[in-house]
Structure 1
Amino acid sequence: MTSATSPAAVDIRAREMRTYRMLVDGQWRASSSEEVFESIDPYTGRAWARVPAATEHDVDAAVDAARRAFESGPWSRFLPAQRARCLRTLGQLLEQQSQELANVQVLENGKLMREVLGQTAGLAAHCYYFAGMAESMHGDTVSISVPDMVNYTVREPIGVVAAVTPWNSPLSLLFWKLCPALAAGNTLVVKPSEVTPVSTLVLAELFERAGFPPGVVNVVTGDGRVGAALASHPGVDKIAFTGSTEVGKAVAHAAADRLARVSLELGGKSPNIVFEDADVPGALSGVLAGIFGATGQTCLAGSRALVQASILDSFARALVERARAIRIGDPLDAASEMGTVSCRMQYDKVLRYIELARSEGATLLCGGGPPPDPALRQGLFIEPTIFGGVRNDMRIAREEVFGPILCLIPFQDEDDAVRIANDTRFGLAAGVWTQDIKRAHRMTRRLRAGTVWVNTYRRTNYATPFGGMKESGLGRENGLEAIYDYTETKSVWIDTGAGIKDPFNPRA
């Protein structure tokens, strides 16, 4: 099914082309080379914004600004309560600007307005939560069996953080890094994806108004070369990266040369496991949302539906019927249920994987290409696609596609489900659908994934940690564990006794 363009969508797209600038040391700057690149609306194919293409010189300037702000600027003297105040003020500003930030993201990446607006409306909550963390973070007093000695620990900020963010949820995934890093007292250089740079630049207009001193948050824009320059920069103390596993490995290699800290939120090939005793309507909705929400462009997408063999045929028929009814259309239209793929490069990649699945012998059950509606030809649309007859050793079941493609894989029993689910180099997430509480607990223990959902899917929250095992990443974002990832622990020893004895004169 398809939906038409709404009048509100036409108004937003009627904006004049604007050239944006980067934020470095509190100043809005063009690239030192004066080069720009364009942001393309994946629904219309029209360029609607120009953005600076940063150079290594610009990266140096941004890192230097962040370093000064961290070591000698006003931010270095801010108390936890002052950092918390800035974050709370930012949250209040975000509540006022959530609609505009949503508009820009939809124009950038074609994600549904109703989904993006929910995400931007929730950004303020991240600020408020980590403002509380800023004021309540503490070390420990350690009981040690050494006379006349006191030992305690303190948590201190790491320093300059490079936050490299993806195009699928540019602001939400930035805030998973930004809020804990700022709450802990770090400074940042943010590099958004070249597909979605504008939303981060629009957001950056709020930092000065929120009370953050110049240089605390800097934004440089450009392609992967800018990210590589940041990852290898000697002035960067930590790289927080979200993206593909392959690029994440390159980031880790660059950081390893100087032992910089890293947190990596990478890819997945997550299993969504449906047992024969599941609540079938709920499981159907969960499997559909797990793969076709956000057009399948999420790291946690449930791209492998493992269905118990006894119900596979009936479940597949119901799934296909529901998938064919998904309304594809203009992301700005409230009636649309699935939008575009975010960019031409990703669109072509998804189509190649569809052809690969066919060549591997998988059975196409629905979808398989662009929708036939002529009204949608200009957009980067791909129908919800489901393949049956998939084996777990096929490339379509092993490699991350990042698009609306679901693999149906049968299993016999719990052991078989666990074997198939864990037979992957990834370990980001998993779903379990069952009404047997004992089975639910057994499965959550046995699945090698950073997040396991039972009778739900695609749930995250700023208060609970998110991250992966195996090649799905390092570290955790959100929750108390996130702020710890942006600190160093210092151990302090104090002698309260007679002082140190002369080690070279035992009679003294």
Structure 2
Amino acid sequence: MPVDTAVQTYHNLINGEWVPSAGGATFESCNPARSSEVVGRFQASVEADARAAVEAAQQAFAGWRRPAPSRRAEILLQAADLLEAGLEQYAQELTAEEGKTLASSRMEVKRSAQTLRYYATEGLNVSGDTLPSDDPTVFVYTKREPLGVISVITPWNFPISIPARKIAPALATGNTVVFKPASDTPLIALRLVEALHKAGLPAGVLNFVTGSAADTAGPLLTHPAVRAVTFTGSTRAGEQIHRTVGLSTRVQLELGGKNPLLVLEDADLDHAAELAVKGGFELTGQACTGTSRVIIMDEVHDAFVAKLTEKTKALRIGDGLAPGTEIGPLANARQLETVLSYLDIGQQEGAQLVSGGRQLTDGEYGQGYYVEPAVFTGVKREMRIAREEIFGPVIAVIRVKCFKDAVRAANEVDYGLSAAICTADPDRMSYFIDHMEAGVVKVNRPTTGNSMNAPFGGMKMSSTATYRESGRAALEFYLQEKTVYHGSQPIRFCCSN
């Protein structure tokens, strides 16, 4: 098939140079709203590329850890300015590549710039402790130092904001980075790298390779110079990474979720339905913190479901670049296939599909990966749609008879990322906060969304639960602590006074 010369080809960034893959092959990133539309052509990297990137980062580390923290901050701040200067272009590229609405893309690019600024400041506050010593001739203190080379591997659903919240603290603390983005969204990831590169990063401090994990993961996970791996993605991939890395390699894994919204009998049902729609269907359900279960008290079940289905059916589905679109396409054909399979599974298990669930193929939907947001009722807690991550616009409504059983139902899945409750009762709010097995707990708020200055991470199969992302706590992953005992020799005076 002839190559479309109008489609731009983008390169890897290794040791400060934009270079093609050693393997010579490329792949195309396409628009999920119109799958025949190619957004860009990228390098199908091989292990040699990943190894060269790690070695460039290793060589650059000695120089990058030495500059004054204020110099590193200047670069992050300049990169933030560059992202905001290109906001509209980058937002349109993000939507064309991933499918989310243009409003969501604008918010994500702006949030990424804010993240760079946040860590530019936080990087200036890295410090150790001084400790009392029983020996007056010994000064005991700790100092915190960068680890070295960090492998950053990120997903396609937040393809610039998740990389920003990993790369910014890594750079601010003096580490060097090899960044491999998801193959569905390499262009917006490249824009983040471009901004940091143009802002003045020295050669080799940030390296960028595109391509499949199967062809690049070896050096990114097992090269002796790699001191830490930070990954966000599926639980299955996270488990494989955890088994592969060496004993001396630090690992941070943020994985899947099966996040509940508990709706109690005293809840404002209109507000609860809005929370469910926002948490479950915004971003086409493709958020690790997305609401996939609504656990509802029996006495308000029917009234809530009526409001939820009404709001769901009113959502406008279409190209994320089109004005008024509220729900874009799924990100790729694999996601569409997965969602459609779970819609079949839910009905085979005996749940009732009361709203949506159709694949849209007519007219403007013909070339895209579109499916109507779906609501299931009559869902039993043992059903697969109630226990397994779908990562799409599917909500399972689970009916319970008492509050404590609602909390038990919320906790009895393998995941523990985000959970929310809708109630006016302060006592039950407190019980929920204390008893939920989730890393993020929300009251009268959607399960989605987190503050950049607050720690983020899950429990159980949603995370390694070792180091948190976001906020000041995120810096801990990129730093190692050294304890110093600084002794002095006895002072010999030249006179007796």
Give the alignment's TM-score, normalised by structure 1.
Answer: 0.93
Deviations 1:125-160 (A, max 9, x none): 111111111111111112244453221111111110
Structure 2 distance, partners of 1:403, 1:39, is 21
* Contact 1:114–1:334 under 8 Å retained in 2: no
Pick one of 55, 61, 77 that aligns with 1:70. Answer: 61
2:11 alignment partner AA = R
**1:366 aligned to 2:355?**
yes
Q: Name stretches of at least 5 consecutive residues in structure 2 with no aligned partner.
A: 492-497
Q: Identify the residue that residue 230 of structure 2 maps to in structure 1.
A: 240
Q: Identify the residue that residue 51 of structure 1 maps to in structure 2.
A: 42
**1:132 aligned to 2:124?**
no
Matches within 5 A, 1:105-504: 105-229=94-218, 230-255=220-245, 257-371=246-360, 373-457=362-446, 458-474=448-464, 475-496=467-488, 498=490
Structure 2 distance, partners of 1:298, 1:118, is 15
* Contact 1:149–1:497 under 8 Å retained in 2: no
* SS of residue in 1 equivalent to 2:74: helix
Structure 2 distance, partners of 1:91, 1:132, is 13
Structure 2 distance, partners of 1:146, 1:425, is 51
Report the CA distance between 1:235 and its aligned residue: 2.0
Report the CA distance between 1:86 and its aligned residue: 0.9
Report the CA distance between 1:485 and its aligned residue: 1.2
Structure 2 distance, partners of 1:322, 1:76, is 52
Deviations 1:332-375 (A, max 9, x none): 01300000000011111111111111111111111122136433
Structure 2 distance, partners of 1:119, 1:30, is 29
- Change in Cα spacing, 1:146 to 1:272, as seen in structure 2 (3 Å) is farther
* SS of residue in 1 equivalent to 2:360: coil
Q: Identify the residue that residue 506 of structure 1 maps to in structure 2.
A: none
Structure 2 distance, partners of 1:107, 1:203, is 16
Q: Identify the residue that residue 503 of structure 1 maps to in structure 2.
A: none
Pick one of 25, 30, 35 that aligns with 2:25. Answer: 35
Deviations 1:216-243 (A, max 9, x none): 1110000121452212222211100000
2:384 alignment partner AA = R
* Contact 1:426–1:469 under 8 Å retained in 2: yes
Structure 1 distance, partners of 2:383, 2:489, is 68
Between 1:338-347 and 1:125-134, the stretch displaced more is 125-134
Report the CA distance between 1:454 and its aligned residue: 0.6
* Contact 2:361–2:367 under 8 Å retained in 1: no
1:481 alignment partner AA = A
Structure 2 distance, partners of 1:313, 1:463, is 39
Structure 1 distance, partners of 2:7, 2:34, is 14
Between 1:481-490 and 1:362-371, the stretch displaced more is 362-371
Report the CA distance between 1:107 and its aligned residue: 1.3
Report the CA distance between 1:417 and its aligned residue: 1.1
Structure 1 distance, partners of 2:39, 2:394, is 29
Count residues in correspondence.
483
Structure 1 distance, partners of 2:286, 2:5, is 27
Between 1:92-101 and 1:325-334, the stretch displaced more is 92-101
Structure 1 distance, partners of 2:35, 2:250, is 39
Q: Identify the residue that residue 494 of structure 2 maps to in structure 1.
A: none
* Contact 1:21–1:201 under 8 Å retained in 2: no
* SS of residue in 2 equivalent to 1:170: coil
Structure 2 distance, partners of 1:270, 1:144, is 48
Give the alignment's TM-score, normalised by structure 2.
Answer: 0.95
Q: Identify the residue that residue 5 of structure 1 maps to in structure 2.
A: none
- Change in Cα spacing, 1:227 to 1:268, as seen in structure 2 (3 Å) is farther
Between 1:36-45 and 1:144-153, the stretch displaced more is 144-153
Report the aligned-residue RMSD: 1.6
Q: Identify the residue that residue 18 of structure 1 maps to in structure 2.
A: 8
* SS of residue in 2 equivalent to 1:153: strand
Percent of matched pairs sharing the same residue? 39
Q: Name stretches of at least 5 consecutive residues in structure 1 with no aligned partner.
A: 1-13, 500-508
Pick one of 78, 86, 89 that aligns with 2:78. Answer: 89
Report the CA distance between 1:437 and its aligned residue: 1.7
Report the CA distance between 1:324 and its aligned residue: 0.6
* SS of residue in 1 equivalent to 2:359: coil
- Change in Cα spacing, 1:81 to 1:386, as seen in structure 2 (3 Å) is same
Structure 1 distance, partners of 2:135, 2:185, is 56
* Contact 1:126–1:179 under 8 Å retained in 2: yes
Report the CA distance between 1:97 and its aligned residue: 1.4
